[in-house]
Each structure stands twice: as C-alpha cells, then as structure tokens.
Structure 1
Amino acid sequence: MKARSFSSLPSDTAPIVRRLLAVFTGRPFAPGDPELADLAPSLSTKVVESALRELKSWKIALRFFTWASNQDGFVHNCYTYNAMACMLSRARQNAAMRALAAQAVDSRCKMTPGALGYFIRCLGSVGMVEEANVMFDKVKQSGLCVPNSYSYNCLLEAIAKSDAIGLAEMRLKEMRDLGWDLDKYTLTSVLQIYCNMRKFDMALKVFDEMCDRGWVDPHVCSVLLLSFSKWGDVDKAFELVESMEGRNLRLNEKTFCVLIHGFVRASRLDRALQLFDKLRKSGIPPDIALYDVLIEGLCKNKELEDAFKLYMDMNEHGIMPDVSLLSKLTSYFSEEGELTQLLKEIPKDVDTAAKNLVCNAVLSFYVNNGAVDKAYHLLRGMMGHLPLDDLNVSQLLKTGERFYPDTTSFTIVINGLLKKGETDTALSLFHEMVRIGCKQTVLLYNNLISSLCDSNRLDEANELMQEMKNSRFEPTEFTRNCIYGCLCRREDVLGALNCVKEMRLHGQEPWIKHSTQLMKQLCDSGRVLEACEFLNNMVIEGFLPDIVAYSAALNGLIKIQEVDQAVELFRGLCARGCQPDVVAYNILINGLCKAGRVSEAHDMLNEMVRNGLVPSVVTYNLLIDGWCKTNTVDQAMLCLSRMYEVETKPNVISYTSLIDGLCNARKPDDALMLWNDMLSKGCAPNRITYMALIQGLCKCGRLNEVLVYLRQMQEKDMKPDTFVYASLLRALLSDQNLSAALETLKDLVKEGKFPCSQDRNYPILKNAIIQILQFFSCCKFSDSASSFTFLIFGMRRNLHGFRGQKMPSRYKKSDSKNLYLRNLSPEEQELCTHFLSASWILSKGYYLCLGN
C-alpha cells in the first residue's frame, strides 16, 4: 500500500493528519498529550486511513489505531482495518494480525467483497491460513459481507501458501454450488496447492485443463516449473521447459534465473548449463550473477577447467568480473601456482578497472589463505614502497605498467589485518590511503573504530570518530554503538548516557545488547541503584529498554534484598507498555519467595496466566520451594497438582523440594509415597534428592528406611555429603544403635568426608565418637579384656575420657591381639571388635582432626 502525499488529501484532512503524525512520532510519546484530546473530535475514517498510510513503523501505527478505536464516536471501517492489516502483514506481526482479524469481526464491521479479499490476502501472506478461513466464515455467516468470486480467489490464494488440499477442494465445491465460475486465478491457486504437496499427477491434470481453456501463460508454467525444481525433480522441470517451447511459450528472465540457481543447488550443473544456453538463445543477455552461480558450482565440483572456460566466455561477452567472482575463484585455490594459472587467462588488453580487480583478487587470495603479511607487502609494493617480488603481477598481466591500489585494495588488507589483531598496522595503512589519493569509506572507519573499542582503546576510537566527522562522513548507528558498547563494558554510566543523548539527536538507537550488558555488569558489581537510575534516564531520552535489561536490574535488586523496589520497578515497566516475559516473572517470584512473601509470589503466577504467559517448570519449582520453606507444604502439594492440570511436567527439582518439605513437616509416609510416584513417572532421583530423603527420614526417626536408601545411593556411585552422615549418626546414637553408628563412621572416613574442625558438622561427629568410646569404656570386661582395650587404643593422647591413663606393663605392642581375644567371652569379643573398629577410625583420620 503506497503512502499518498499530503497534497493529494482533502484540504480539511491534511492538517489533522500532520498533527496526529507529529504527536505519535514524537519522542517520548505521551498518551495524555492535550493535543490528542483536541484532535479526537476531528477523527474520521479518511483521516485514520491516511495517517496509517503515512506511518512507517508498525508499532506506532498499531498504537495510533488502538487510540483511535477508543475515541468516543469513532468506528473503524473496512478500509482502516485493511490499512492496518497491510502494515502488520508486511512487518510479519502474526500475533497482532490475529488480534486485528478478531477485532474486525467482533466490531461487526461491514466489508465489501474486495475489502474482505484484501484482508484475507494479508493473512495469507504471513502464512495465517487457519485465521483466514475462520475470518472468511465468520464474516459470511454474520452477514457482514457476501463474498464473490474475487473473495474466494483471495482465500484460495491464501490456502495455496499451505498444504491444505482438503480445505481447498471444499472451497472449490462451495464456489461451484454458489454458481461462481472457476477462472484462471482459481485454478492457478489449486495448481499451487497440489505442487506444494508434491501431488504432481493432480497438478498436471489442472495444468492440462488450463491448457485446454487457453489459460496457460508463463506465470502458470513458472508455478509448475519452480515446484519441480524445489522438490529436486530437475528432469521433469526441464521436460516442461521443452514442452513450453513447443507451445511457443517463453520463460521470463526471472524464471530462468531461479531455475538455474535451483538446478545448481540440486547439483545438476548439466541441466543448469543447458538452461543457460536456452537463455542466451532466447535473446536474454545473462548477467554476472548467473555466471557467478555457475562458475561457483563448477568450482565446487572441482571442474576448474570448465569454470575457466565459462569465465573466458564471460570476458568475451564483455562482462567484466567483479571482486566477488574473482574472490570465489581464488578461494578454491590453495597454491600460488593455481592462482598464476587463473591470472594467465586474463586478456592482454584489459582496462585499468579490470587490472585493479585482478590485483584485488590476488590480495583476497592471500588474506583468505591466512597470508595477511603477504597481502600487506603486495599492497605496499603496489604503492611503490616495496618491490613486487612476492608475485609479479605485472608479468602475469603481460604489461610493464605499474598498478595503483584503490579503496577496495586497502579495504581487503585492512580488514585482514584487523581480523588478525594488528590494529596499529591497519591504522597506519588507513592514513596512507589519503596520501596516495584513495578515498576512505564509512565502512573502513567503522571497522577500525570497532576494533579500537574491542581493544578498550576508547580515546583513540573517539579521535577517529572526530576525524571521520571532519572528513564529512556522518557516523552511523553502528559507529556510535561501538563507542556506546565500549562505555558500557567500562561501566561508565555518565559517558554511556551522554552517548545515548547524542544518538537520539541523530535519530539513532542504542543497541539493546549493550544496555543489557551494562545492567548486568553494574548489578554484578553491586551498583544496582545506578543501574536502575540509568534505566530511568533511558526512558526519559525516549528509548524504552527491553525486558532483558529490566530483568538484569530486577535480579540485581533481588540479590541485595530490595524486593519492594524490584516490585515497584516491575510495575513501572508494565505501565510503560513493556511486556514482561516468563524470565522476568520468575526473577520476581524468586525474590518474593526468598523474602517469605510466597502468597504475593503466587499472585504473580496467576497474573502471568492472565497475561497469556505459560509458567515454566522453574516458576512452579520456585513456588514449591517457597511454600516448603515457610512450612506450608500443603500449598506446595497443591502447586504440584496444578502442574499436572496444566500438563507442565515436574522435574527432579520439584520432587526434591517437596520430599524435603514433607519430611520437615514430619510426614515421612507422604514423602515416601511421592518418591514412588516420582519413579513411576520416569523421573530419576539425583544425588540431592537422595540426600534430602535420607536427611528427612533421619529427622523422623525412620532408620530402617534410611539405611535402605543410603545403600541404594552408594550402589549408584552417588556420594553423600558430610551433613548426611552427621544426620544419620545423630539418629543412630539417639536410637542407641552403636554398631550402625560405627559402620557409618567407617564409611565417612573411607569416602574422605571427615570434616575439619571449622566445619559445622565437626562437633556432631566428635561427640558421636566420644559417646561410642565412653560407652565401651563403661562396659564390664574381664581383666584381660579391659587391659586389651588399652592395648587397642594405645593411649591416644587427644582422646577425651582416656587422657592420663597408662596401659598395664604386662602387655607389649608386639603381643598378638589374637592371644587375648581367645580368653574373651563371645560378648566381650564382639565388643572388642567394636573397639578395633573405633581404633581403625582413629588411626585413619579422627585423631588428626579432633584436636586437644
């Protein structure tokens, strides 16, 4: 839809349109602008349609369209709806198109058959076939429009973008039943649908019917030809081309080009070259793009000789190769000898431009093969600073003339140097360009400034940008964003804001990725409030940061426990029209849950759903964890049930949090039931899940189950953390199960998990060992057994309860322990075995950690 000039508008309409455009395109846009209230009574469908045609941004157009919809006394007509649909379809905004179609129907807007067809075509152009069919039926059934053959043809054209054969055939039957004749445009759409589904037998029947009626033209043939090519049926496509020649139908240049490109993609260079010959015989002069694709295809097939022949053919027809083609040719060579062979094929009488192309191709060859230094020296030789001894280009071209580099020569080498990280050499070469009369370019300035900024050489980058201005080159959005990105990486908030202001003055926009990076860096370094202030300043300057930047600020506020401020920022961005995503909601829900405000977090979940967002499993996990940590495990279980209802599959984190919560709530049976439910649903517990269950069962005194799951965990090569052993020891000692306690201690030492004295679990383990040894020391043995006890422990000086005691003199270290075990009763032997176990633990590490 073309925008009309203001001069073509009625005299009373043009001023209103101008004022509306000024308000809606101004920055920042203010919905409460008093001028809008003055303009509202002057609205008409002609004014709205004209304004929509003038607007370039679909976002601004949609904002204006929505504002107009809400004005008292104004009602959109089919032409304003079509103007809006045109913008949205061109911008490929499917969600907004879907809402607009629904609004058009719900508003009961009357439509002409042509207007309905136009809206349907807009939907079809973005692949919204289902929506096009729904709208068509609703408008027809509600009496808002009586479709004619044009309306049906537009619908079939939309369906032709899909593979809905059944739907197309149903619409064809409707047309016949209503008495509409099937014309050329109807059958063309049907042909396209059959081609889309590769139903070539049906497509050929339609094609034959069109032939019988005399409706076949180059476009109809192109539909079939391009489909054959798309599906790789190159031979069928070629047969059809020859059949067209028999019908005296000629392909147009565009179809020739598309088919040749398609044949090359299908690796059918034989057919591509045959079609190329037909193109030339038809009188259509081939352009360099066709030579380019054919030569490249031949090179990929290693048919370099044929590629050279085609290259020579191109030269004979007066088509000079460009740098791109020569670069492609040279890119397939890895040796200078092959390059020399190519250069020898260049005619003697080439002009200066061709010579430069050849030299630049040689430079590209060196750069592409990693020989940037050779390219640099060759360029210096071309400038007259060095002898051309690397590659005698003059001799290859059979001329003794000197070659003068052009801007492209410098661009090739400078970009190669920059990629290699040799920024200083590139800068030096850049400044030499002017001295030999070569023109600098915006692209070169940008690449150099980008390299300087990437190296954090901001002052030099600013100097080069000033030089750029002095040379009458206007810095582009890319230029200033390089500077802006460097400032953001430096966390220079004031400098970044000044750069944003400068960009606004020049109609440029700061890139979101740099703003987001600044937000993240400021928040990571604890400067969260500065980050929030920068966001506010961005809004004041008319640049609304995206949700990713806001999410970084929200996360920073949550980390410093400023939950209320995070909520305020969240509400502010919503009020400014920025739509939060699932990640932003999750950040806020996480903060609220950590602050114990789980009910508010749950309200956030409901708000997400109302806004059309689908909560992720992370969302539910955060709430489950929050409910469990606030001892409201019943609410957490309701959250799990909600996950099942909305078909969000819980993961191992969901189950781990709930199992831990149920155990803390002294509901071990429910925890075990949930464990079995998790297994039945194919969710495998991980190490954290096992530890949560074992620790929880210890708290609940379910020692038999604890030992079962601990054994399962060890069988799966999952190693528990020290706190799990500590919980188990506490429970075993409370149950007076000293044998199991000793085995647990042995496992702890074997796994290398015995803690140092600074560990919070250390006192628990120390007291456990002391309690075990004190118990054994109080047992009544025979004299030999009692003395044997001292022999086993060897009077560990660090052990509480044994300090200062002496071992009887009649027992020596060399005595065999078996000698004394034979004199003990079975009960005493079992107890001594426990002593031996305790002694082993001490010798392996306990006495190293216990301390005095």
Structure 2
Amino acid sequence: MAFGGLKTAHLSSPKHFNPSHLFQFLLLPTIPSHQTLLPPPIQFHSNSNYSPNTRSVAAQELSAVFSKHHPSLPDNTHLQNLAEKLTPETVETVLKDLKGWRTAHQFFSWAAQQDGFVHNRYTYNTMASILSRARQESLLKILAKDVVNHSCPMSPGALGFLFRCLGSQGLIDEAQYLFDNAKRLNCVPNTYTYNCLLEALAKSGRVELVETRFKEMVGSGREPNKFTLMPVLQAYCNAGKFEQALAVFDRIYNSGWADEHVFTVLVVSFSKWGEVDKAFKLIERMERLGMRLNEKTLCVLIHGFTEERRVDKALVLFDRIKEFGFERNLALYSVLIGGLCVRKDLNKALDLYWEMKELGIFPDVGVIKKMILAFCGEGEMITAERILEEDSEKLDVDALVLLFNAVLEGLTNHGEVDKARLLIQAMMESQEVHPAQGKAVESVIDDITEAVTGNLFRFKKVVLPNAASFNIVIDGLCKTQKLDMALELLRDMVVMGCAGNVLIYNNLIHELCNMDRLDESYELLRKMKESGFEPTHFTYNSIFGCLCRRENLSGALDLVIEMRRNGHEPWIKHCTMLVKQLCEGGKVMDACSFLNDMVRAGFLPNIIAYTAAMKGLFKAGEVDQALKLFRSMFVNQYLPDVVAHNIVIDGLCKAGRAFEAQEIVKEMLEKGLVPSVVTYNSMIDGWCKSDRIDLALLCFSRMVEEGKLPTIFTYTTLIDGMCNASRPDDALILWNEMKEKGCELSKISYVALVNGLCKCGREEAALVYFREMEEKELEVDTFVYVALLNSFISKGNLIFGFQLLKEMVRKLKFPSPTDKNYPLLIDALRKLYEDENTFLDVQNLIAEGLVPSIHSVHDLGTDIKET
C-alpha cells in the first residue's frame, strides 16, 4: 500500500483495547447523541492558486473518472492533464464527493503517485475520516505511519482531529506514535490536541496512559479545561477507580463545569459498581441544582438498581419516570415486578401488576410467570390462581402451558408436591374429554379439574403438560423421596405420548442410585435408550457411584468400558471413594487390582486414588507393593505430589527402612518438591525408631534452617528418642525449648517424657512431670503408673512404690489380665510382697479384694510369709 508516493509497510498490530470500555464510552445511554466530550473539531480551509471555477471543474471531472472506472483506471491523456491540475484542495473536494471508501482510497493513492503532488494535513485528515467511518483499521494504521514518514506539517487542531479518527477505531498505539513525533510534524500540541488524545485513550480503557498523558499536559504548563477532565473522569469510571473518579468530579464541580452529562457519567458508573446509595445521593444533588436525568438514563438506572437488589431505590426513580411524563413500558414494569418478587414484597408487586394493566400494558408470559412463581412459592395460591385466570383467556395454548408450569414449579417450591402431582394429572386427563349429556367440552374439563384440584387452578381448555411440566413434578417427587410416585408419573408420561427429556431420566436414575435401587436404575437406563435419549456422563456416573458404594468391582469396570465407548469419563470422586473404602475394609489388593483395571480400560485414576491405595498397602504391611505402586504412578505420567511422597516416607520409616525413606526425600528435592513439616516429622520418627538419634537431630536442624516450625509431634518424637538413647538431660532441654516455643503440651508429650525418664532411672524427675500431668487434669494411663511404680521399686524405694500402688487402686487404674502391662504389675507386686517393709500392706490390700484378679498372695506365685 502506498501513501504520498511511497511504498509503506504495515505497522505491527497494537495491543488490543478493551471493547467493553469502548462500548460503554461511546454508547453510554445517558449521553444525548448531539453531545460530545470535546468542542466541535476545527474546520480546515484550503487555499488554492486556481480559481474556484477551475478547481470545481477539475474536481468534477476527477470524481466522474474515478467513480466510473473503479477499480481500474484508463491510461489516457485526459487523466494525465487532470493530474497536472492536482492541488490539495482539489483532492480534498474529490475525496468528499466520491461514494465508498474503496474508491476514495484508490483516488488518494493515485494522487500520491503524481509528480509534483504531496498530500497535506487536510487531505490526510479527510482520508482518515473516511477510513474511520468505514472501520478500516489496517489502512488507518498505515496512514498514521505515512504522516510521520513524510513529516507532513500538522497544526495542533489537525493533529487532534486525526487522534479522534484513530481513537474511534481503538488505534491507541498509532495515536501515541503520532503525538510522540509531533516535532517531526512541525507541531506544538496545545490543549485541544491533548484533549483529543485523552479522549481516544479513555475510549480504549487505557487508564494508565490517560493518567500519564494528563500529568504530562499539566506539567507542560497547559491548563486543563472541562473537555480535558471529562475523558479522565470517564477513564476512571470505566476502570472502576472509585476514589480517583470522585476527585476528578470534584475538580469539575468546583470549577463550575458540572452539567447533567457530567453527573450522568458518574451516576451510571456508581450503579455499575453496585454503589446504589452513592448514586442516589448524586441524583438528589443533581435535583437540588435544578438538573434531572433523561429518560434513557432513568431506565438504565432502574435496571441497574434492581439487579443490585435495591428495588427500593429503583421504585423512587420509577416515580420520577411518572413525574416527568416519560413512557412507562412493559420492560420497566417487568424488571420492577421481578425485583419485588425476589425481595418477596408481593403486595407491592401486585399493585404494580394491576397498575400496568390499567394503563393498557398487557403483561407478557414472563411477567405473569414471575408473579405466579412468587405467590405460589409463598403459599398464596388464591392470588396466583386469580392472576392465571384473569390473563389465561388472552393467551394461546403454548403460553398457557408455560404458566401452568410456573404453577407446578411454585407448588413444588412451597413443598406442595402432592398438589403439583394432582394438577399435572388433571392436565393429562383434559385430553380425554368428550362432550357428555349436552355439556360443552370446556365445561367438562372444568368439572374434572375442580374434582382433582378443588377450586384452584381450574382450566376450561385442553392444557397438555410438556416435558418441562413432567420434569418439574418428577424432580419435586425425587427430592421428597417419593420415588415410586415419580416412576408412576413417568409411566403416565410415556402412555400420554410425551417423550420427556434427558433431565427427567437423569433425576430419577440419580435418586434411585442414592437409594441403592440399582436394578431399577439399570432398567430405567434401558428405557431411556429405547426412548431415543443418549445417556450423559451424569447418567452413567450416578450408576457408577452406586456400584462403587457397593464395592461391585466387576459391575463398575463393565460400566466404565461402556462409558469409554460413549465418550464419557468416570468421576474421580467415585474411583477415590471405592479405593479408600476397599483399603479401610482390608481389601487392599482388590483396590490395587481395580486401579490396574481402570488403566487397562483407558482411564488413569486420580492421584488421590493412588495415594489412598499406597496408604492402605503400607498399613497392611505390604511395603514393597506400596513402593511398586508409587513407581507405577510415574509410568502412568503422574507426578506424585508432596502428600504422596510423605505417605511413602512415613510408611518406610514405620517399617524400619529409614535409609530408603531418606532416598525418597532426595528424589523429592531433585524434582523441585519442598519437604513439608510432615516429611521431616516422619524422618525424625524413623531415625529415632532406628536408634539413630544423631541423624534425627541432623534432620531436625535442617527442618529449622529451612524455616519449618517444629510441632509438638516433632519435639515429642525427639524427647522419646533422646530417652531411648539414654540422654535424659538433652530430652529435658528439648522439653523446655518446646514450652518456650509456645507448643501446647499434650498428654502424649507428658507420657513420652515420664516414661523416658523412668527408663533412664530418673524416677524423681519423672514424678515431677507425672504430678504436673495431674494438675493439668490430663488423663494418666495405667501404662504411666506401671512405668513409674517399677522405676521406684527398681531403685529400692519400695515404700513410695507401694504408695503409687494404692493410688492406682484408688483411681481404678489397675490393668486387666489381658493388658500387656499386667505382667509388669504382678512382678512389682511380687517384689513389694517379698520386702519385709511392705509385704503386710500388700497382703491386706489383696485380702480386702482391692486388687482385681488377685484373690490371694498365692496368685503372685510366691511363698506366704509368716506374720
């Protein structure tokens, strides 16, 4: 493409502007069509060395040639002679005369190629205006670049006009390119130029560019006016920048420039932001200044306020509509009635409904349906019936069915599903009516509906239910667990000749499966297919879920294969539930087989299902199988997450294979996964159980270095490990550190410390923490008593040991014979009995029957001492 005689390459596409912002800006409903954000563009006038008559003749001849010979031009002497008379004024005149942008563009390009002719700002702007109206963005981009390439002198007004042409098509990058090259165009931008640029930027929604250029304009010493601030205000409004928009508005207002248009822009924006109260205050402020909103703006605001559930304010504006004498139409009444119904202000909705009818505005089906639904939903059946009866005569049968569907829906919403069932039965029976005993068909239908539904919702003509009618009632019956009634209604539907729809079958199958009526759901699936309906993923997954809950593996897999043939996938939640269920029931290998079968069927189970199976395998002691499953996840193109790795690490540690677990940690790090607190806790526990307290402490140090906060489990595990390693002092240091860190001390922590100190022969220290447990009212298990008792006895403090024994008896902490601590306690009793200081106390305790399962000292397996 060529402009000004040069071949010019296409410019790269600019960043896409936001079309919604442009739409809001250009088509803001409150702005009258004659009002613009800028004063009228400067009118450009051309001078010419030719007389007006000569210029007019040349222009007429050129217009005739290009209009007649588009797209090819004759190569003749006459056209060459006309080319010699070319002036910018002639070209401008011809461009305005030619019909169609293609012809104008051909002439513009031809003129640029003629010797001695150069386009000026008037011809460029005329062509830009034509291309802008024709929405020729690509040619406008080239034209803008060509203006700069030819250093075409531009006045501030001409440059501003070109910005407006570019801005109307969202060519913001091109407009900025021109502005930044204004010096090459011998142009010093003035306030008008900036205003045009800001308007273009605001239309595109580029608020950050608007801010930048506005600051640049003010910084250059140019004083902004109303036409400067309006694009800035609009940009902030479109961008939802509440505070900034208010600041600009205040500046306009304080300068005395605020008019109805300025107020309207901000009011509509407040409405879009959901700031209904602020918008309303602004409207009141307008009215105090003697301004008022126009009809279109009021309508927009009424819709907007109602959408924000502020129908109270919408009604106030509706009163303005009446007051100003503007038209009250069906759309306004419909949105207000709908809003009132949502708010359950039914009396006001009814008032508006009758008012609308009094004005001769007949409600459409949508309005009547809203009313019926609302009144039925609140149990106001008489009013709903009145509305239906009053308008039913004017509606055709299809519209009437829609309204009766609204009645059915309203009844079910109000919990009156049995009445809805009776009504739909009456609707079905209306088709069987024939004249009898001299009665008209309408009269017989009326008698039937009165017998079925009473005095409510009677109809005098055949109103057959459609698929939507049956779906409403069947869905209501399903939700109230009346499945047998729903199935009966489905049979009636088929007999009536209504095919129904997929939703009806899906609802029934889903509820049957929820009630574990699997055979009936399969039968319904068969009937669904026979009726010509294709089961959806919801249909299949309802049955699949039931099969999974039953742990019917073969049935589930058969269904999965059928689903695959029909392009559906099983829901992950059902697969995961089945695997967890099997694992919890001890059927871990069945769970693994199911996962393998799913893969063979062409579906990859979710990583959560794999994780559940691994957890089950570790719990069952199948460590190697669990590792094998973990490795298979990589084969199936899964990338196990931290949770999956943690399950493997914990399982290996519990199995005494801490070194293998450490290798899994290394793999995690290599994959970029960050070990969690759970990871470190598992490893610390594993090292402690492997009697590698040194490695446990190293792991603890790394955990702290990486910013992970140790938990009470971390400290408890280490304290137990320290005691097992005969390092009670270090255990107590960790205990104090745990308290300083603010960890809430638990029963498990105390048990670990007391038992550990007893193991290390530090029974006196253990007793201190034992008493602390009691003060905190933490439950003390028999195990703790036995450990403490044996520790004191082993140190020869049998008297205190006996005191602990009496305390156990008093608190009923004596273990049963099946308890693993029972033999330890019997051994302690034996030692107490064998000691001369305590044998009589033990004998008396047993004689009094205070020691369960010990009836005499013979039960201790020792000789009876002489008293």
Query: Would you say same fold, with TM above 0.5?
Result: yes
Is structure 2 residue 550 aligned with structure 1 residue 490? yes
Q: Distance in 2 between matches of 1:312 and 1:260?
A: 21
The answer to whether 1:755 aligns with 2:800 is no
Q: Output aligned runs, 1:533-612, within 5 Å.
A: 533-608=593-668, 611=671
The answer as to 2:308 corresponding to 1:262 is yes
Distance 1:311 1:660, change over 3 A: farther
Query: SS at the partner of 2:331?
Result: coil
Name the SS for the 2:757 alignment partner: helix
Q: Which residue of 2 aligns with 1:290?
A: 335
How far apart, CA to CA, are the structure 2 residues paired with 1:219 and 1:498? 65
Q: Once structures 1 and 2 are overlaid, which stretch shifts more, 672-681 or 544-553?
A: 544-553
Seen in structure 2, the aligned counterparts of structure 1 residues 486 and 297 have a Cα distance that, compared at 3 Å, is closer
Instruction: Describe the shift of the 1:704–1:185 C-alpha distance in structure 2 as closer, same or farther (beyond 3 A).
Output: farther
Distance 1:734 1:231, change over 3 A: farther
Distance 2:358 2:414 in 1: 28
1:680 equivalent in alignment to 2:740: yes
SS in 2 for 1:321: helix
Please tell me whether the aligned partners of residues 340 and 346 of structure 2 are also in contact (alpha carbons under 8 angstroms).
no
Between stretches 304-313 and 214-223, larger displacement belongs to 214-223
Residue in 1 that maps onto 2:850:
843
Q: For 2:631, give the aligned amino acid.
A: R
Change (3 A) 1:354 1:573: same
- CA shift, 1:673, in A, is 1.4
Letter in structure 1 aligned against 2:540? R
For the structure 1 residues 272 and 320, does the alpha-carbon distance in structure 2 shift closer, same or farther, using more than 3 Å as the test?
A: farther
Distance 1:183 1:612, change over 3 A: farther
1:546: how far off?
2.4
| Matching residue's letter, 2:782 | T
C-alpha deviation, 1:430, in angstroms? 0.3
Find out whether 1:505 has 2:505 as its counterpart.
no
1:201 correspondence with 2:280: no
Superposition pairs of residues 645-794 of structure 1, within 5 angstroms: 645-776=705-836
**1:644 matched to 2:704:** yes
Q: Check if 1:470 corresponds to 2:516.
A: no
For 2:590 and 2:171, locate their aligned partners in 1 and report how far apart those are by CA, in whole Å.
53
List alignment gaps of at least 5 residues for structure 1. 1-113, 119-148, 161-166, 780-788, 790-833
User: What amino acid is the match of 2:766?
Assistant: V
Moved more, 723-732 or 399-408: 399-408
Contact 1:280 1:286 in 2 (8 A): no
Give the one of 394, 419, 441 matched to 1:374: 419
**Residue 206 to residue 431, structure 1, CA distance change in 2 (3 Å):** farther
Percent identity (aligned)? 37
Distance 1:529 1:633 in 2: 36
Alpha-carbon shift at residue 703 of structure 1 (Å): 1.5
Task: Give the counterpart of 2:397 among 352, 360, 372.
Answer: 352
Structure 1 residue aligned with 2:370, among 325, 332, 335? Answer: 325
Return closer, same or farther for 1:844/1:550 CA change in 2, 3 Å cut-off: closer
Work out which of the two has the higher radius of gyration on C-alpha atoms and give 1 or 2.
2
SS at match of 2:506: helix
**Which residue does 1:632 correspond to in 2?**
692
Question: What residue identity is the alignment partner of 1:754?
Answer: F
The 3 A distance-change label for structure 1 pair 296 and 564 is: same
In 2: Cα distance, 1:196 partner to 1:272 partner: 26
Q: Displacement of 1:545 after TM fit? A: 2.7
| Aligned pairs for 1:79-478 within 5 A | 188-192=234-238, 195-196=240-241, 198-199=243-244, 201-205=246-250, 224-226=269-271, 229-230=274-275, 232-236=277-281, 238=283, 250-251=296-297, 257-264=303-310, 268=313, 270-271=315-316, 273-274=318-319, 281=326, 286=331, 290-291=335-336, 293-300=338-345, 303=348, 305-306=350-351, 309=354, 316-321=361-366, 325-326=370-371, 328-330=373-375, 332-334=377-379, 336=381, 346=391, 349-384=394-429, 388=449, 392=453, 400-401=460-461, 403-478=463-538
Contact 1:308 1:342 in 2 (8 A): no
User: Which has the higher mean CA deviation after the structures are superposed, 400-409 or 659-668?
Assistant: 400-409
Counterparts in 2 of 1:230 and 1:743: CA distance versus 1, 3 Å: farther
CA shift at 1:700, angstroms? 0.9
**More deviation, 220-229/543-552:** 220-229
Equivalent residue of 1:736, what SS? coil
Kept in 2: contact 1:742–1:837 (CA 8 A):
no
Preserved contact between residue 631 and residue 665 of structure 1 (Cα < 8 Å): yes
With the length of structure 2 as denominator, give the TM-score of the two structures: 0.64
CA deviation digits over 1:652-679, x for unaligned, max 9?
Answer: 2222212211111111111111111111
**d(CA) in 2 for partners of 1:849, 1:410:** 80
Q: 1:719 to 1:476 in 2, by over 3 A?
A: same
User: Contact between 1:524 and 1:556, CA under 8 Å: does it hold in 2?
Assistant: yes
Helix, strand or coil at the partner of 2:743? coil
Shift of 1:196: 3.9
Q: Equivalent residue of 1:229, what SS?
A: coil
Distance 1:700 1:168 in 2: 77
Would the alpha carbon gap of residues 517 and 289 (structure 1) be closer, same or farther in structure 2, given more than 3 Å must change?
farther
636-645 or 748-757, which deviates more: 636-645
The amino acid that maps onto 2:745 is P
* Residue identity opposite 1:325 in structure 2: K
SS of residue matched to 1:545: coil
Asked whether the 8 Å contact 2:693–2:721 carries over to 1, the reply is yes
Asked if the contact 2:334–2:367 (Cα under 8 Å) also holds between the matched residues in 1, the reply is no
Shift of 1:210: 13
Contact residue 576 and residue 612 of structure 2 kept, 8 A: yes
Give the stretch that moved more between structures: 610-619 or 665-674. 610-619
Q: 1:847 to 1:643 in 2, by over 3 A?
A: same
TM-score by structure 1 length? 0.65
Offset from partner CA, 1:409-455 (integer Å, 9 cap, x none): 32222112211222222111101112223331110011111122223
CA distance in 1, matches of 2:542, 2:703: 45
Flag the 1:269–1:227 CA change in 2: closer, same or farther, 3 A.
Answer: closer
Contact 1:651/1:683 (<8 A) preserved:
yes
Aligned CA distance change for structure 1 residues 210 and 467 (closer, same or farther; 3 Å): farther
Q: Secondary structure at the match of 1:383?
A: helix
CA distance in structure 2 between the aligned counterparts of 1:155 and 1:630, rounded to whole angstroms? 71
In structure 2, give the amino acid aligned to 1:454: N
Measure, in 1, the Cα distance between the counterparts of 2:794 and 2:203: 79
Q: Is the 8 A contact 1:229 1:263 kept in 2?
A: no
Are the structure 2 counterparts of residues 401 and 673 from structure 1 closer, same or farther at C-alpha, using a change threshold of 3 Å? same
- Residue identity in the other structure for 2:662: H
Secondary structure of the residue that 2:640 maps to in structure 1?
coil
- Structure 1 residues 364 and 397 mapped into 2: Cα distance closer, same or farther (>3 Å)? closer
Cα contact 1:446–1:479 (8 A) shared by 2: yes
Cα displacement (A) at 1:761: 0.6
Query: Deviations along 1:469-495, whole A, 9 cap, x unmatched?
Result: 221111112112222222222333333
Check 1:848–1:388 CA distance in 2 against 1; reply closer, same or farther (3 A cut). Answer: farther
Deviation at 1:116, TM superposition (A): 14
